[in-house]
Amino acid sequence: MARAGWFTRRRRSGVEPLLVRGNHDRHAGDPPPGLGIECVDALYRISPFILAHRPAGNAEGHSIAGHVHPGVRLYGAGGLRERLPCFVVTRDTTILPAIGDFTGLADLAVGADARVFAVVPDGVVEIVDRQPHIAGDA
């Protein structure tokens, strides 16, 4: 049923999915051809962006990458805390979150110029009051 929803949403959106292969794909292999997902090796250029598996500065464009699995811990009153996947965005690089039950979250030291966006059940929210680190298990 979930796959049928994927095809319907994809057809209506006009979005063509693209998978930039990474370290996990060597073991898992490419998705089945019937899903219609184009698979490429890193680096893939869609100006002004450079799509890559691992984040790396690139003078040719803004790098969009995964691999790192960034996460953010949020603390609230009464000892409440929540750990969420997040996007990390700087002037030159966007690091995408890993979403799923089999992914961990990584410690990253982020500069004051970085923006952090947490993935929440109803969308994505910017974390504006944060410590200089976003934390995970790494």
Question: Around Cβ 69, how many Cβ atoms within 10 Å?
Answer: 21
The per-residue pLDDT for 3 is 54
Q: What sign results for the dihedral spanned by CA atoms 5, 8, 14, 16? A: positive
Q: Is the pLDDT of residue 94 over 90?
A: yes
- CA dist., res. 13 & res. 80, Å (int): 38
**Residue 4 banded pLDDT, cuts 50, 70, 90:** low
Tokens of 89: 């965005």
Q: Are 104 and 136 in contact (CB under 8 A)?
A: yes
pLDDT in tens, 21-75: 887 777 788 888 888 888 988 788 888 999 988 887 777 889 999 888 898 888 8
Q: Which has more confidence, 102 or 62? A: 62
The more confidently predicted of residues 66 and 15 is 66
Mean pLDDT in residue range 107-112: 76
In percent, the amount of the chain with pLDDT more than 90 equals: 19
Per-residue H/E/C for 3-46: HHHHHHHHHHHCCCCEEECCCCHHHHCCCCHHHCCEEECCCEEE
Strands 62-65 and 49-52, sheet pairing: parallel
Task: Provide the whole-model pTM.
Answer: 0.76
Q: How far apart are CA 57 and CA 101, in angstroms?
A: 29
Q: Domain coordinates of the chain in residue numbers?
A: 65-138
